Structure 1
Amino acid sequence: MGSMGDEVGEAIAGELRLMDPSVRMSRALARQLLDPHFVEVGASGRRWTYEEMLAALPEMTGAAEDGPRYEPSEMVGVVLAPGLVHLTYETTIDGNRARRSSLWRRRGAEGEWRMYYHQATPVPAEG
């Protein structure tokens, strides 16, 4: 088993991979990073299940190689228990900001890290 810093690093690496257009476009690659019990509450307020997210991800913002990309900032993680990491950060994409929170857990014989829960909350435009 790795150290707590390693666990946070593994979760951050997975989070960043999920922002990569090549992963977002590939159901097979995204499946490796999402827990089968995955749930998301998106910035729109919609609740997404594992299958819904895998089906929609290639069409979502950030999936096109030549389109807008997620720009994460202030990403930090905390080990809640062995094999369970909570990440918080902000993203900007196409001028829209959101505060994000993810739970990552280590599963399977190989100890793969997968996103179990994700929530995005829009940040209102400053004015």
Structure 2
Amino acid sequence: MDPEVRTSRALARELLDPEFVEIGASGRRWTYEEMLHALPELSGSAPAGPRYRPSGMTGALLASGIVLLTYETVIEGTRARRSSLWRRSADTGWRMYHHQATPAPATSGDGA
């Protein structure tokens, strides 16, 4: 979520698995190459612009080398629930393999 990483394809490449896929809050499906190309222009990437504010981050070990991370973000008043799968490789360490964002109501009093 750091603008320095989001605007650097080299740094983003270190965090995204080559088989990365994302289902964004808009419903759009992103591949690894599409995300690397678009990330510098997406919300939260401008150093002086709005930033994602994460909260409620929790992780669950699903199997050796596979972690599910869940959390919520807010950017410019827009809230989303997020989940990502991270997998560890002996060669590259931890990388995000899959990410999904789901729009959420603006307040946390939604019964969830």
- What is the TM-score normalised by the length of structure 2? 0.92
Structure 2 residue runs without a partner (length 5+): 108-112
> For the residues of structure 2 that align with 1:108 and 1:28, how far apart are their CA atoms?
20
Report whether the alignment pairs 1:113 with 2:90: no
Report whether the alignment pairs 1:77 with 2:59: yes
By percentage of residues, which structure has more helix?
1
Deviation at 1:107?
A: 1.4
Match of 1:104, as an amino acid? W
Structure 1 residue runs without a partner (length 5+): 1-18
CA RMSD after TM alignment: 0.9
Aligned residues: 107
Moved over 6 A (4+): none
Deviations 1:41-84 (A, max 9, x none): 00000000000000000000000010000100000000001110
| Partner of residue 65 from structure 1, selected from 18, 33, 47 | 47
**Residue 90 of structure 1 aligns with which residue?**
72
Deviation at 1:89?
A: 0.5
Q: Percent identity?
A: 72
SS in 2 for 1:80: strand
By percentage of residues, which structure has more strand?
2
**Residue 123 of structure 1 aligns with which residue?**
104
| Partner of residue 38 from structure 2, selected from 35, 56, 64 | 56
> For the residues of structure 2 that align with 1:25 and 1:60, how far apart are their CA atoms?
9
**Residue 39 of structure 1 aligns with which residue?**
21
